[in-house]
Structure 1
Amino acid sequence: MKIYKSKVDWWLIILIGCVFGYPIIDGILTNEYFLSAIFAFVLVLFFLLSKTIRYRIEGENLMIWNTKIEIKSIRKIYRTNNPLSSPALSLDRLAIVYNKFDEILISPKERNEFIDELLKINPSIEIQD
């Protein structure tokens, strides 16, 4: 089993820190501790969820959270900056097209190593840059 972590954009960390940090600080300064606690809880929850974004290659399957994709069913991989919601912490993403019409966006940190590992299992995957 090989595990690949998600790439994280630095600006995303700053954006999330500002969006959740401001209400936390404002709540403390205005004695609204309940508000601060809620935003701090959401910030910690986001941090914990972000640590679980991993892409695992187990045998002939690619596991992304609870989604299992047969590597033999992958038809194409291409680079994209699509901002749609996905299990990726970066906009520097890979789109994986599998089955007939399915597609998922991911952002492995070791992109080339990840693609090479998939190609070892399914050399017929079309790679587009």
Structure 2
Amino acid sequence: MKVYRSKIDWWLIIVVFIVFCYPMIEGILSKDYLMFFVSFGILSFFFLMFKSIKYKIEGENLHIWWTKIDIKTIRKIYRTNNPLSSPALSLDRIAVVYNKYNEILISPKEREAFIQELLKINPNIEVVNNK
């Protein structure tokens, strides 16, 4: 089994940190400890989610959170900066097109090694290198 972590855009971490740190500081200053603990809990949840985003290649399957994709069904991989919600912590993404109409956006940190590993299992994947 090979595991690839998600690439992280640091601006995303800063935005999330600022959005939830302000209510934490405000909660302490105004002695509203409920606001502090709720904000701290949400911030902790976000960082746990960030840490858990990884892409696993196990046998002939690609596991992305709860999604299992048969690598033999992957038809195409192309680069994208699409900001749609997806299991990716960076806007420097790749789209994985599989089955007939399915597509998922991911951002593996080691993109080339990830793609090469998929190609070992399914050499018929079309890789579009649009830079």
Matches within 5 A, 1:101-116: 101-116=101-116
- 1:92-121, Cα deviation, whole Å (9 max, x unpaired): 101000000000000000000000000000
1:98 lines up with 2:116 in the alignment: no
Length, aligned pairs only: 129
**Structure 2 equivalent of residue 46 of structure 1:** 46
Q: Give 2:12's aligned amino acid.
A: L
Matches within 5 A, 1:68-107: 68-107=68-107
Consecutive aligned runs of 4 or more in structure 1 exceeding 2 Å deviation: none
Q: CA offset at residue 47 of structure 1? A: 0.7
| Structure 2: 5+ residue stretches without partners | none
- 1:23-60, Cα deviation, whole Å (9 max, x unpaired): 11111111111001000000001111111111000000
| Structure 1: 5+ residue stretches without partners | none
What secondary structure, in the 3-state scheme, does the structure 1 residue paired with 2:97 have?
strand
Matches within 5 A, 1:1-16: 1-16=1-16
Query: Identity, % of aligned pairs?
Result: 66
Separation in structure 2 between the aligned mates of residue 85 and residue 123 of structure 1, nearest angstrom: 29
TM-score, normalised relative to structure 1: 0.98
**Structure 1 equivalent of residue 61 of structure 2:** 61
CA RMSD, aligned part only?
A: 0.6
